[in-house]
Amino acid sequence: MRIIRTVHEVRVAVAEARAAGRIVGLVPTMGAFHAGHLSLMQVARTQTDLVVVSLFVNPTQFAAGEDLSAYPRDEQRDADMARGEGVDILFAPEPAEVYPDGFSTTIHVSSITDVLCGATRGPQHFDGVATVVAKMLGMVAPDVAFFGQKDAQQVLVVRRLVRDLDIPVRIEACPIVREPDGLAMSSRNVYLDPAARVQATALQRALAAADAAAKAGERDAAVLVAAAAAVLADAGIEPEYLELRATDDLRLLDRVEEEGLLAVAARVGGARLIDNCVLRPN
Ligand code: PAF
Protein backbone atom coordinates (compact mmCIF):
# COMPACT_ATOMS: atom_id res chain seq x y z
CA MET A 1 0.00 0.00 0.00
CA ARG A 2 1.33 3.45 -0.95
CA ILE A 3 0.85 6.45 1.34
CA ILE A 4 0.44 9.53 -0.83
CA ARG A 5 0.31 13.12 0.42
CA THR A 6 -0.07 15.23 -2.71
CA VAL A 7 -2.83 15.73 -5.23
CA HIS A 8 -0.31 15.45 -8.07
CA GLU A 9 0.88 11.99 -6.99
CA VAL A 10 -2.60 10.60 -6.42
CA ARG A 11 -3.70 11.85 -9.84
CA VAL A 12 -0.72 10.17 -11.53
CA ALA A 13 -1.44 6.87 -9.74
CA VAL A 14 -5.13 6.99 -10.65
CA ALA A 15 -4.41 7.97 -14.26
CA GLU A 16 -2.03 4.99 -14.64
CA ALA A 17 -4.64 2.62 -13.22
CA ARG A 18 -7.36 3.99 -15.45
CA ALA A 19 -5.13 3.77 -18.52
CA ALA A 20 -4.73 0.08 -17.68
CA GLY A 21 -8.52 -0.27 -17.69
CA ARG A 22 -8.88 -0.48 -13.90
CA ILE A 23 -11.97 0.80 -12.04
CA VAL A 24 -11.10 3.25 -9.26
CA GLY A 25 -12.84 3.28 -5.88
CA LEU A 26 -12.58 5.94 -3.16
CA VAL A 27 -13.44 5.57 0.51
CA PRO A 28 -13.38 9.08 2.03
CA THR A 29 -12.59 9.00 5.77
CA MET A 30 -11.36 11.06 8.67
CA GLY A 31 -9.36 8.11 10.04
CA ALA A 32 -9.78 6.49 13.48
CA PHE A 33 -10.78 3.36 11.64
CA HIS A 34 -13.27 0.89 13.06
CA ALA A 35 -15.15 -2.07 11.59
CA GLY A 36 -17.53 0.32 9.77
CA HIS A 37 -14.64 1.85 7.80
CA LEU A 38 -13.18 -1.58 7.15
CA SER A 39 -16.51 -2.76 5.72
CA LEU A 40 -16.44 0.18 3.26
CA MET A 41 -12.92 -0.83 2.22
CA GLN A 42 -14.04 -4.45 1.81
CA VAL A 43 -16.97 -3.44 -0.41
CA ALA A 44 -14.65 -1.15 -2.39
CA ARG A 45 -12.19 -4.04 -2.76
CA THR A 46 -14.88 -6.29 -4.24
CA GLN A 47 -16.32 -3.65 -6.60
CA THR A 48 -13.25 -1.76 -7.83
CA ASP A 49 -9.69 -2.55 -8.95
CA LEU A 50 -7.74 0.34 -7.39
CA VAL A 51 -8.92 1.16 -3.86
CA VAL A 52 -7.99 4.61 -2.59
CA VAL A 53 -8.80 5.55 1.02
CA SER A 54 -8.54 9.22 1.87
CA LEU A 55 -7.60 10.10 5.45
CA PHE A 56 -8.17 13.74 6.26
CA VAL A 57 -9.66 15.20 9.44
CA ASN A 58 -11.52 18.00 7.73
CA PRO A 59 -11.45 21.09 9.96
CA THR A 60 -14.18 22.94 8.07
CA GLN A 61 -16.93 20.51 9.05
CA PHE A 62 -16.39 21.05 12.79
CA ALA A 63 -18.09 23.98 14.51
CA ALA A 64 -16.22 26.02 17.11
CA GLY A 65 -16.44 24.09 20.36
CA GLU A 66 -16.79 20.68 18.66
CA ASP A 67 -14.19 17.93 19.01
CA LEU A 68 -11.75 18.86 16.18
CA SER A 69 -8.67 19.02 18.43
CA ALA A 70 -9.68 15.91 20.41
CA TYR A 71 -10.68 13.91 17.33
CA PRO A 72 -8.82 10.56 17.54
CA ARG A 73 -5.77 10.50 15.22
CA ASP A 74 -3.36 7.58 14.76
CA GLU A 75 -2.15 7.38 11.18
CA GLN A 76 0.16 4.43 11.79
CA ARG A 77 -2.68 2.32 13.20
CA ASP A 78 -5.03 3.40 10.40
CA ALA A 79 -2.40 2.63 7.75
CA ASP A 80 -1.87 -0.87 9.20
CA MET A 81 -5.60 -1.53 9.19
CA ALA A 82 -6.05 -0.26 5.63
CA ARG A 83 -3.11 -2.38 4.47
CA GLY A 84 -4.78 -5.38 6.10
CA GLU A 85 -7.85 -4.78 3.92
CA GLY A 86 -5.80 -4.73 0.74
CA VAL A 87 -6.15 -1.00 0.16
CA ASP A 88 -3.86 0.19 -2.66
CA ILE A 89 -3.42 3.86 -1.75
CA LEU A 90 -3.85 5.76 1.51
CA PHE A 91 -4.23 9.37 0.45
CA ALA A 92 -3.39 11.42 3.55
CA PRO A 93 -2.85 15.05 2.53
CA GLU A 94 -1.76 17.83 4.88
CA PRO A 95 -4.35 20.58 5.50
CA ALA A 96 -2.42 23.00 3.25
CA GLU A 97 -2.69 20.55 0.35
CA VAL A 98 -6.48 20.52 0.70
CA TYR A 99 -6.95 24.15 1.67
CA PRO A 100 -4.04 26.12 0.17
CA ASP A 101 -3.54 29.79 1.00
CA GLY A 102 -6.33 31.88 -0.46
CA PHE A 103 -8.82 29.01 -0.56
CA SER A 104 -12.19 30.75 -0.88
CA THR A 105 -14.82 28.36 -2.21
CA THR A 106 -17.62 26.76 -0.20
CA ILE A 107 -20.22 24.38 -1.56
CA HIS A 108 -23.64 24.72 0.03
CA VAL A 109 -26.30 22.08 -0.61
CA SER A 110 -29.56 23.75 0.37
CA SER A 111 -32.80 22.47 1.89
CA ILE A 112 -31.82 18.93 2.96
CA THR A 113 -29.06 20.45 5.11
CA ASP A 114 -31.50 22.64 7.09
CA VAL A 115 -32.71 19.77 9.28
CA LEU A 116 -31.35 17.02 11.55
CA CYS A 117 -27.54 17.42 11.90
CA GLY A 118 -27.64 20.58 9.76
CA ALA A 119 -29.97 22.20 12.29
CA THR A 120 -28.19 20.96 15.41
CA ARG A 121 -24.53 21.25 14.33
CA GLY A 122 -25.06 24.40 12.27
CA PRO A 123 -24.82 25.14 8.54
CA GLN A 124 -21.01 25.01 8.47
CA HIS A 125 -21.10 21.26 9.06
CA PHE A 126 -22.58 20.17 5.75
CA ASP A 127 -20.90 23.05 3.91
CA GLY A 128 -17.61 21.62 5.16
CA VAL A 129 -18.60 18.08 4.23
CA ALA A 130 -19.88 19.04 0.76
CA THR A 131 -16.79 21.12 0.01
CA VAL A 132 -14.26 18.51 1.12
CA VAL A 133 -16.12 15.64 -0.57
CA ALA A 134 -16.29 17.64 -3.82
CA LYS A 135 -12.56 18.27 -3.47
CA MET A 136 -11.75 14.60 -2.77
CA LEU A 137 -13.83 13.57 -5.79
CA GLY A 138 -11.99 16.17 -7.88
CA MET A 139 -8.57 15.15 -6.58
CA VAL A 140 -8.98 11.38 -6.92
CA ALA A 141 -11.62 11.24 -9.69
CA PRO A 142 -12.92 7.79 -8.64
CA ASP A 143 -15.50 5.80 -10.58
CA VAL A 144 -17.25 4.82 -7.34
CA ALA A 145 -17.18 6.43 -3.87
CA PHE A 146 -18.28 4.53 -0.77
CA PHE A 147 -20.05 6.09 2.25
CA GLY A 148 -21.62 4.62 5.39
CA GLN A 149 -25.38 4.72 5.82
CA LYS A 150 -24.93 5.66 9.49
CA ASP A 151 -24.50 9.22 8.20
CA ALA A 152 -27.72 8.94 6.19
CA GLN A 153 -28.08 12.71 5.78
CA GLN A 154 -24.46 12.95 4.59
CA VAL A 155 -25.18 10.31 1.94
CA LEU A 156 -28.14 12.37 0.68
CA VAL A 157 -26.04 15.54 0.66
CA VAL A 158 -23.29 13.81 -1.33
CA ARG A 159 -25.77 12.33 -3.80
CA ARG A 160 -27.36 15.75 -4.34
CA LEU A 161 -23.98 17.45 -4.75
CA VAL A 162 -22.83 14.87 -7.29
CA ARG A 163 -26.08 15.15 -9.23
CA ASP A 164 -26.21 18.96 -9.17
CA LEU A 165 -22.55 19.43 -10.15
CA ASP A 166 -22.53 16.61 -12.75
CA ILE A 167 -19.64 14.86 -11.04
CA PRO A 168 -19.13 11.55 -12.87
CA VAL A 169 -19.05 9.16 -9.94
CA ARG A 170 -21.38 6.51 -8.56
CA ILE A 171 -22.16 6.88 -4.86
CA GLU A 172 -22.50 3.61 -3.01
CA ALA A 173 -24.11 3.69 0.45
CA CYS A 174 -23.06 0.75 2.63
CA PRO A 175 -25.00 -0.70 5.59
CA ILE A 176 -24.42 0.40 9.18
CA VAL A 177 -22.00 -1.87 11.04
CA ARG A 178 -22.90 -2.50 14.68
CA GLU A 179 -21.24 -3.81 17.82
CA PRO A 180 -22.68 -7.17 19.02
CA ASP A 181 -24.99 -5.26 21.40
CA GLY A 182 -26.33 -3.08 18.58
CA LEU A 183 -24.36 0.15 19.09
CA ALA A 184 -23.51 1.63 15.69
CA MET A 185 -19.75 1.73 15.07
CA SER A 186 -18.41 5.27 15.34
CA SER A 187 -15.00 6.87 15.81
CA ARG A 188 -16.63 8.80 18.66
CA ASN A 189 -17.48 5.62 20.64
CA VAL A 190 -13.97 5.91 22.15
CA TYR A 191 -15.27 8.89 24.16
CA LEU A 192 -17.76 6.62 26.01
CA ASP A 193 -16.88 5.53 29.54
CA PRO A 194 -18.22 2.09 30.58
CA ALA A 195 -21.52 3.47 31.96
CA ALA A 196 -22.12 5.66 28.91
CA ARG A 197 -21.19 2.75 26.65
CA VAL A 198 -24.07 0.72 28.15
CA GLN A 199 -26.44 3.71 28.04
CA ALA A 200 -25.59 4.28 24.35
CA THR A 201 -27.13 0.94 23.35
CA ALA A 202 -30.53 2.59 23.93
CA LEU A 203 -30.20 4.41 20.60
CA GLN A 204 -30.40 1.20 18.61
CA ARG A 205 -33.03 -0.25 20.94
CA ALA A 206 -35.14 2.87 20.41
CA LEU A 207 -34.92 2.47 16.63
CA ALA A 208 -35.73 -1.22 16.98
CA ALA A 209 -38.85 -0.43 19.04
CA ALA A 210 -40.15 1.86 16.28
CA ASP A 211 -39.18 -0.70 13.66
CA ALA A 212 -41.14 -3.40 15.50
CA ALA A 213 -44.19 -1.12 15.69
CA ALA A 214 -43.89 -0.36 11.96
CA LYS A 215 -43.57 -4.05 11.14
CA ALA A 216 -46.72 -4.63 13.20
CA GLY A 217 -48.49 -2.23 10.84
CA GLU A 218 -48.25 1.14 12.64
CA ARG A 219 -48.02 4.01 10.13
CA ASP A 220 -48.63 7.08 12.29
CA ALA A 221 -45.31 8.95 12.62
CA ALA A 222 -46.15 10.34 16.07
CA VAL A 223 -46.83 6.85 17.42
CA LEU A 224 -43.66 5.43 15.85
CA VAL A 225 -41.50 8.26 17.19
CA ALA A 226 -43.13 7.92 20.62
CA ALA A 227 -42.20 4.22 20.70
CA ALA A 228 -38.55 5.14 20.16
CA ALA A 229 -38.68 8.15 22.52
CA ALA A 230 -39.96 5.95 25.36
CA VAL A 231 -36.85 3.73 25.13
CA LEU A 232 -34.55 6.75 25.16
CA ALA A 233 -36.37 8.28 28.13
CA ASP A 234 -36.11 4.99 29.97
CA ALA A 235 -32.32 5.07 29.46
CA GLY A 236 -32.15 8.71 30.61
CA ILE A 237 -31.26 10.00 27.13
CA GLU A 238 -32.59 13.33 25.90
CA PRO A 239 -32.23 13.26 22.09
CA GLU A 240 -30.96 16.25 20.14
CA TYR A 241 -33.40 15.06 17.52
CA LEU A 242 -35.54 12.01 16.95
CA GLU A 243 -37.45 12.46 13.72
CA LEU A 244 -39.16 10.49 11.01
CA ARG A 245 -38.39 11.93 7.60
CA ALA A 246 -38.69 11.03 3.94
CA THR A 247 -35.75 8.98 2.68
CA ASP A 248 -35.33 11.07 -0.49
CA ASP A 249 -35.64 14.72 0.58
CA LEU A 250 -35.88 14.57 4.39
CA ARG A 251 -39.31 16.25 4.57
CA LEU A 252 -41.05 15.52 7.88
CA LEU A 253 -43.54 12.66 7.63
CA ASP A 254 -46.94 12.47 9.34
CA ARG A 255 -47.40 8.91 8.18
CA VAL A 256 -45.13 6.25 6.78
CA GLU A 257 -46.63 4.70 3.70
CA GLU A 258 -43.75 3.04 1.83
CA GLU A 259 -40.77 3.90 3.99
CA GLY A 260 -39.39 6.56 6.32
CA LEU A 261 -35.99 7.40 7.79
CA LEU A 262 -36.06 7.42 11.59
CA ALA A 263 -32.97 9.37 12.62
CA VAL A 264 -31.65 10.08 16.09
CA ALA A 265 -28.82 12.14 17.56
CA ALA A 266 -28.02 12.34 21.25
CA ARG A 267 -25.24 13.23 23.61
CA VAL A 268 -24.32 10.23 25.70
CA GLY A 269 -21.53 10.73 28.22
CA GLY A 270 -18.85 12.68 26.36
CA ALA A 271 -19.97 11.69 22.88
CA ARG A 272 -22.45 13.00 20.34
CA LEU A 273 -23.84 9.88 18.67
CA ILE A 274 -26.11 9.42 15.66
CA ASP A 275 -28.00 6.41 14.36
CA ASN A 276 -30.89 5.70 12.02
CA CYS A 277 -33.00 3.03 10.43
CA VAL A 278 -35.44 2.87 7.55
CA LEU A 279 -38.95 1.93 8.70
CA ARG A 280 -41.12 -0.03 6.29
CA PRO A 281 -44.59 -0.78 7.68
CA ASN A 282 -46.10 -4.09 6.80
O1 PAF B 1 -17.97 10.71 7.15
C2 PAF B 1 -16.83 11.20 7.29
O3 PAF B 1 -15.91 10.60 7.84
C4 PAF B 1 -16.58 12.60 6.77
O5 PAF B 1 -17.71 13.41 6.92
C6 PAF B 1 -16.08 12.63 5.31
C7 PAF B 1 -17.14 12.09 4.36
C8 PAF B 1 -14.82 11.80 5.18
C9 PAF B 1 -15.76 14.06 4.91
O10 PAF B 1 -14.78 14.61 5.72
Q: What is the CA radius of gyration of the chain?
A: 19
Range of the domain at 105: 2-174
Instruction: Give yes or no: residues 159 and 197 share one domain.
Output: no
Q: What is the pLDDT of residue 282?
A: 84
Which atom of ligand 1 has the smallest separation from the CA of 58? Answer: 10
What CATH code is carried by the domain that includes residue 82? 3.40.50.620
* Residue 37 a catalytic site member: yes
What CATH code is carried by the domain that includes residue 219? 3.30.1300.10
Q: What is the pLDDT of residue 232?
A: 98
Is 258 within the bounds of a domain? Answer: yes
Q: How far apart are CA 15 and CA 4, in angstroms?
A: 14
Q: What is the pLDDT of residue 154?
A: 98
Instruction: Give yes or no: residues 161 and 217 share one domain.
Output: no
H-run or E-run covering 90: strand 89-91
Pocket of ligand 1 (CB under 6 A): 28-30, 58, 61, 129, 132-133, 151, 154
Q: CA angle, 277 as apex, 275 and 282 as ends, to 5°?
A: 160
Average pLDDT, the chain: 98
> What confidence tens digit (pLDDT) does each residue in 205-238 have?
999 999 999 999 999 999 999 999 999 999 999 9
Residues above pLDDT 90, as percent of the chain = 99
Instruction: Give yes or no: residues 102 and 230 share one domain.
Output: no
Mean pLDDT to the nearest integer, 37-65 = 98
Comparing CA positions, the residue from 238, 241, 235 lying closest to residue 199 is: 235
Å from CA of 274 to ligand 1 middle: 14
Instruction: Give yes or no: residues 30 and 169 share one domain.
Output: yes
**pTM for this prediction:** 0.97
Is 124 within the bounds of a domain? Answer: yes
Instruction: Give yes or no: residues 147 and 208 share one domain.
Output: no
> What confidence tens digit (pLDDT) does each residue in 143-199 have?
999 999 999 999 999 999 999 999 999 999 999 999 999 999 999 999 999 999 999
Which atom of ligand 1 has the smallest separation from the CA of 57? Answer: 10
Instruction: Give yes or no: residues 8 and 138 share one domain.
Output: yes
Å from CA of 242 to ligand 1 middle: 22
